[in-house]
Structure 1
């Protein structure tokens, strides 16, 4: 876990006092709305439909238990007793009073947190695999590199006013669990023929109005060069990216306009001036940051202890939860536990102050005081002994965290939608709940198997609907809320953009459309095929026919 040094503390504290004065001046009428807007955005403060929305950075999805407790305290003291985890591993509060936001910033600074660059046209929170450091298939721990990128990008004067927001994801595993192909820049670890570890550099991915899968512009970049190469990419984007049209300002549009080869050539030309320069990482630099992410004091354990396997055999509900909501660990005798924030009836990604405190307690009692936030909007306890899993499961059930649906249809990624967001065309939370209620039968849900369902309330695609096996997009038709369904999207190593199956649906008809899609899948699947495999094999046409047939 990264710890602030004296410089970090000072920078963050000075930003708090700076914003406190800016807020005071705005409330006193000394700053206009136009003058205040860039200042509040630099500090993660949006004006939403009903109240300000405040976004707090959770660097690469890592939280210490004391930080999670502070978020619980903030939820209780300054908001309505809950927070919302986003697809970018951050936390949002939807009801803070503007005049109290500087106090929240001060509370965050006490526990080494801030909201700097969670908004605005700058480099946003760098994201990574929620299982970084504990994943069994990891080639390199990406967290030291995420921290290095965070330090480089925070308050970087050259990149504070980019043409548009800029998002970087890093994956250190064979399987890409960080969605690197749909980020402005994705860094995916690769091993060269001689054994050297480096990164494949992917540029120009993104969702939103124009969903595009990123292009590889460099097959192998030695790790020591990541900052100079990122400098080169951002300089090219800063220079050539469009500023006349915000819908065409993202780097993906520039890469398309220049062609990937043309863009790569400009980056390589720029890099000639930067390569081996002052920002080249030395071994001691990497070692310094890696030292913050050392392995905790694991015990030497045998995997699958007797008491654990006995409980699996005698308690079917527990066995199902272990199968669905825990992940293998690089340390024998341990697992990572995914706490589902997708219980039916609860907005996906929402967590109460009481639940935050419970998770903080469990992380200390059963682990090493560390919690992760997944971009699927669930919470992870990364280091749990298998012998403790039964007790953790019972505690998770008591807090509503044990729905065994991770990776299944009801584990819906979902933006806050029209209930909160002023940009949304339609509400997402009630429709997600209606789908969850439709498929509340856990036996049927497990029989359907692995299905990614992603939901966005507007074209900004905060719910990543384009890369869901099933995607839902809220659209506005003459002032009414309608919903478009896409099929065939996926994330990971074989990222694909889903295709719209036909005309949009009224809110009440969405669950029935899902039921028809699932019925056809069950009829057509072969030999344990996953949903996405069936869709790719038979194509969209049979699904269209079934969904839009009048009497089926």
Structure 2
């Protein structure tokens, strides 16, 4: 993974010193709340419902064991002994003291980490596939370009105050696992007919109050122009994006208002002045950054391991975990492993200090000292030998990290919601835990099969509810918390937005509502169908009819 050079380290160290002085001046009364607010936001510090929240950057989801160990130490020293991994592949601390944040940032800087551009109207953390570099279906490793774009976008003066936050995702696989279509800019890397690296560029995607899937603005872009083309897009957005209404300020609204053809015309015109500018990426720069992502020192291994095969045959619990949590690897004899941060009864995405230390130890012992964060809020060890899987499982299981529910109903994506977030209309975590307890039978979960359930506490959609096979949105009705349900959303190559099934529900009704949706699926599915396939075949009508069959659950419509 990328290691800081002297310039990187100097920038981060100087930002720590700057923010330390800004905090001192604020606490001394030399800066007003209005003056301090933009300064703390530039360093990832929000004031939430219960306490400050610090969002720490995890660029494109990559962590070293040393970095994760430091995050665990910080969570234990400055917080309540845990952190929350978000859908942007970052880590959030929910309980730091404002006066401790400069010390936290200083500790982060010792392991090449920071909180820069994790908030505010700027280019946020660039995300990608959690299996980048090891996925068998990978065409191009997108981490190199993600790192180049990180360096380009960090402290970019022209894009420090955009109309709204700006999110970019990159992908280099046949099956999109980075959800490029739901980002302000999505970039798909592929090999063209001349076997040259090229990019399909999507623009104008986003969830939130007005969910829109992106549109292809350019089918073929030479990789050298990735930065200049993005710059052209963002310049057009910066020029025309609305600043008078935060709800209509995202680039998706501008693209929709202008139409994709007019928006593209303006981007191409802007790009004509940038195409061969200094931000065109030279071969030398690509080679420099690529050296940080060279293949790990893999051993030459057999495709089979007798010990692994014996453990599968003799241990049903291990076999169930392998089925859901172990993934194919492009190198023979290796596998990628997803460690579930979704044990039943726990807030999805949370990891304790002790668990972070355990994962760091596992990474050191079995996975070349590296790990990843997924936007599904789990942790990944990308390079595990077949012969080591049983030992990894045993240690993960002993520390609550081996729930075999990856890709199943209880592998819930969930924002912090009203328990923490000051923007939330309703709590998310209690709904997630109640659904987990409703579906606490692993055999039943495996029978249901692949299904994605996403929960957001408000229309900002940090839980990506719009693209969940089942999506749950917290809404406010006369000061009470209600939950709107949608079905039919999906990520991936065939991404889609869910449709609301009808009036909203109380918190107490939610486990039964999800159960009724599953009942229809089990009754109507064909042997090969997933939940999303059945929804697409039948539409929402039979699901809606069953959910609302008991008239006592029908509530007035809630306008979100």
Give TM class, smaller chain. Answer: over 0.9
Cα deviation for residue 193 of structure 1 reads 1.8
For the residue of structure 2 that corresponds to 1:505, the secondary structure is: coil
Q: After superposition, where does 1:1-400 map in structure 2 within 5 Å? A: 1-400=1-400
Q: How many residues align?
A: 552
1:134-164 Cα deviation digits (max 9, x unpaired): 1110000000100000000000000000000
- Matched residues in 1 for 2:397 and 2:307: separation? 20
1:249-300 Cα deviation digits (max 9, x unpaired): 0000000011011111100000000112211111111011010011111000
- Matched residues in 1 for 2:68 and 2:486: separation? 36
For the residue of structure 2 that corresponds to 1:235, the secondary structure is: helix
Cα deviation for residue 190 of structure 1 reads 2.5
Cα deviation for residue 389 of structure 1 reads 0.5
- Matched residues in 2 for 1:514 and 1:266: separation? 45
- The reply to whether residue 428 of structure 1 matches residue 416 of structure 2 is no
For the residue of structure 1 that corresponds to 2:107, the secondary structure is: helix
Given that 1:367 and 1:382 are in contact with CA atoms closer than 8 Å, whether structure 2 keeps it comes out as yes
- Matched residues in 2 for 1:356 and 1:303: separation? 31
1:187-245 Cα deviation digits (max 9, x unpaired): 01222222222110000000000000000000011111101101101110100101111
Given that 2:488 and 2:536 are in contact with CA atoms closer than 8 Å, whether structure 1 keeps it comes out as yes
- Matched residues in 2 for 1:88 and 1:135: separation? 20
Given that 2:325 and 2:338 are in contact with CA atoms closer than 8 Å, whether structure 1 keeps it comes out as yes
- Matched residues in 2 for 1:282 and 1:117: separation? 26
Given that 1:174 and 1:189 are in contact with CA atoms closer than 8 Å, whether structure 2 keeps it comes out as no
Structure 1: which 5+ residue stretches go unaligned? none
1:86-122 Cα deviation digits (max 9, x unpaired): 0000000000000110000000000000000000000
- Matched residues in 2 for 1:286 and 1:311: separation? 43
- Matched residues in 1 for 2:157 and 2:502: separation? 46
Cα deviation for residue 527 of structure 1 reads 2.0
Given that 1:326 and 1:336 are in contact with CA atoms closer than 8 Å, whether structure 2 keeps it comes out as yes
- Matched residues in 2 for 1:472 and 1:491: separation? 16
- Calculate the aligned-residue CA RMSD, in Å: 0.8
For the residue of structure 2 that corresponds to 1:462, the secondary structure is: coil
Cα deviation for residue 304 of structure 1 reads 2.1
Given that 1:190 and 1:220 are in contact with CA atoms closer than 8 Å, whether structure 2 keeps it comes out as no
Given that 1:121 and 1:166 are in contact with CA atoms closer than 8 Å, whether structure 2 keeps it comes out as yes
Given that 2:140 and 2:190 are in contact with CA atoms closer than 8 Å, whether structure 1 keeps it comes out as no
Given that 1:451 and 1:530 are in contact with CA atoms closer than 8 Å, whether structure 2 keeps it comes out as yes
- Matched residues in 2 for 1:305 and 1:190: separation? 34
- Matched residues in 1 for 2:221 and 2:453: separation? 34
- The reply to whether residue 441 of structure 1 matches residue 441 of structure 2 is yes
- Matched residues in 2 for 1:491 and 1:174: separation? 14
- Matched residues in 2 for 1:131 and 1:230: separation? 24
For the residue of structure 1 that corresponds to 2:337, the secondary structure is: strand
Q: After superposition, where does 1:461-472 map in structure 2 within 5 Å? A: 461-472=461-472
1:455-495 Cα deviation digits (max 9, x unpaired): 00000000000000000000011111110000000001111
Structure 2: which 5+ residue stretches go unaligned? 553-560
Q: 2:509 — aligned with what?
A: 509
Given that 1:198 and 1:223 are in contact with CA atoms closer than 8 Å, whether structure 2 keeps it comes out as yes
For the residue of structure 1 that corresponds to 2:189, the secondary structure is: strand
- Matched residues in 2 for 1:313 and 1:100: separation? 51
Q: 1:451 — aligned with what?
A: 451
- Matched residues in 1 for 2:237 and 2:511: separation? 42
Given that 2:182 and 2:206 are in contact with CA atoms closer than 8 Å, whether structure 1 keeps it comes out as yes
- Matched residues in 2 for 1:480 and 1:303: separation? 56
Cα deviation for residue 551 of structure 1 reads 7.7
- Matched residues in 2 for 1:538 and 1:124: separation? 38
Cα deviation for residue 310 of structure 1 reads 1.3
For the residue of structure 2 that corresponds to 1:128, the secondary structure is: coil
- Matched residues in 1 for 2:70 and 2:6: separation? 21
- Matched residues in 2 for 1:388 and 1:382: separation? 13
Runs of 4+ in 1 over 3 A off after TM superposition: none
Given that 1:56 and 1:115 are in contact with CA atoms closer than 8 Å, whether structure 2 keeps it comes out as yes
Q: 2:558 — aligned with what?
A: none
Give TM-score, length-normalised by structure 1. Answer: 0.99
For the residue of structure 1 that corresponds to 2:516, the secondary structure is: helix
- Matched residues in 1 for 2:27 and 2:451: separation? 48
Q: 2:534 — aligned with what?
A: 534
For the residue of structure 2 that corresponds to 1:476, the secondary structure is: strand
Structure 1 residues 425 and 551 mapped into 2: Cα distance closer, same or farther (>3 Å)? closer
For the residue of structure 1 that corresponds to 2:208, the secondary structure is: coil
For the residue of structure 2 that corresponds to 1:99, the secondary structure is: helix
For the residue of structure 2 that corresponds to 1:503, the secondary structure is: coil
Q: 1:486 — aligned with what?
A: 486
